A = this chain, B = another copy of it.
Amino acid sequence: MTIKYLHTNVEKLVEQQEIQIEGWVVSNRGNEKIRFITINDGSSVSNIQTVIKGQLNIEAQTDKISLGASIKVYGKLHLTPEAKQPFELVVDKLVLLNNVDEDFPIQKKETTLDFLREIPHLRHRTNLFRAVMLIRNSLMFEIHKYFQEHDFMNVAAPIITSNDGEGAGETLLVDDESKDFFFKQKAFLGVTGQLHAEAYAAGFKRVYTFAPTFRAENSHTSRHLAEFWMVEPEVAFYDLKDIIALANDLLKNVISNTLKNYPHEMQYLDGLKDGELLNSLNKFLENDLTVLDYSKAVEMLKEYKDEFEEKNIHFGMDLASEHEKFLSDKLIKGPVAVINYPKELKAFYMHQNDDNQTVAAFDLLVPGIGELIGGSQREARYDKLVNRMKELSIPLESLQWYLDLRRFGYAPSSGFGIGFERLVMYVTGISNIRDVIPFPRVSGSIKM
């Protein structure tokens, strides 16, 4: 039985059968006659307070049980209308499984996030990381659930690939110990599953990937990792408008179900943001998504150029993180889908608009984060695609299979990629991406 279950089923359980709880000690106070041990089992940020009267059936010296120790307790639930907590467990029996050594680094006293990043194998035993990882799990499952309920098929796009996807050049290489081309050619860690997902969309219509992706990012920012998870739906017979509607509906579903299923965790995280987190998320849930042309966005940003480090705001510029955030945080005051970017800023495979200078791309920007989603309608026209690749000097040969999709019953297809950790940041209000993934990977170090 989990503590989360106890909290939602108190009435049913009070004074009923003996309950067994296993977990880790959060606090321990009292004396020989009466002792209060609070326990958490990871199912929730909520704990349960247990009461031990005397030393009945208890082998361990209860006053020596420290924060972090693993224990099992047996007892009955009692309502405590007079006390801070609504109920407590009156213990009949207690088993101490493993106490903690004195150097256990998680203590009551405040610790910094920097310090906790040094111990990723232990930091989840704080309330903050407990909440973040439970929300992360909820978002993960709600994404799968949404897609499955909407007739999407999950595709395992390969991690090891022969091409570097977006041509960004920031790829990691793979080989065996002998460094002798295990795959008989250069092999990369995938930066996207999109091209492979497109092949599967041509046949299964609605597909998605949910898998780790990799970038050899050398920049140490609060928004980048060398290893992160991406969610990439791809839908045949969809155009740009359809796929933006999907992104909007997916996000709203996933977020609103998470708020519903993890109210204690969200309240806890909201408290760390002075109530601004739930406000902002609910505002998104309640409003239509703003869709804005890139050219219009540039016009709007021009009026505020003094706010930015990069003040040369013009059509053709790549929006920097500061511009994206300003647009979403200050001007739109919520998520915004910016569409129709200049083709020079975007990847070769995007649908070329009739104006000959923009592509049917969109970036979804959210407050506090900037880019959360990037997507596009794909170029369905073989000749247009080939010409664009030639313009960009992308070798055709290794992507001939991808081009061929256009010759074999291709249906116009659209898709996007969600940086999953950025979504977790958005929903939890956590400002550093290293704190929303269990074991973050950045250049220069591998911790655990």
Contact = CB atoms under 8 A, between A and B. Distances in A.
Nearest to A407: B101
Contacts of A99: 409
A237 B72 contact: yes
A408 interface: yes
A423 B150 CA distance: 25
B42 A205 contact: yes
Nearest to A211: B212
Interface stretch (A335-343, A360-368, A439-447): A439-447
Interface in A321-345: none
Interface residues of A, number: 100
A151 interface: yes
A159 B212 contact: yes
Contacts of A446: 158, 160-162, 183, 185, 187
A281 to B, nearest CB: 21
A276 interface: no
A262 B285 CA distance: 34
Residue among A97, A130, A402, A438 with most chain B CB within 10 A: A438
A173 B176 contact: yes
Contacts of A448: 158, 162, 196, 199, 401-402
A74 interface: no
Interface string A208-239: 00011010100000000011010000001100
Contact of A409 (B100, B155, B169): B100
Contacts of A155: 133, 438
B151 A445 contact: no
A229 B156 contact: yes
Given A137-B153, A172-B174, A401-B121, A443 B22 contact: no
Given A204-B124, A408-B101, A216 B182 contact: yes
Nearest to A40: B203
Contacts of A42: 153, 203-206
Interface in A367-408: 380, 401-402, 404-408
Given A22-B411, A172-B182, A176-B216, 5 more contacts: A22-B205, A70-B236, A70-B411, A158-B438, A159-B159
14 contacts: A42-B204, A70-B409, A100-B409, A121-B405, A122-B408, A124-B199, A136-B154, A156-B439, A159-B214, A161-B446, A171-B177, A172-B174, A182-B226, A182-B444
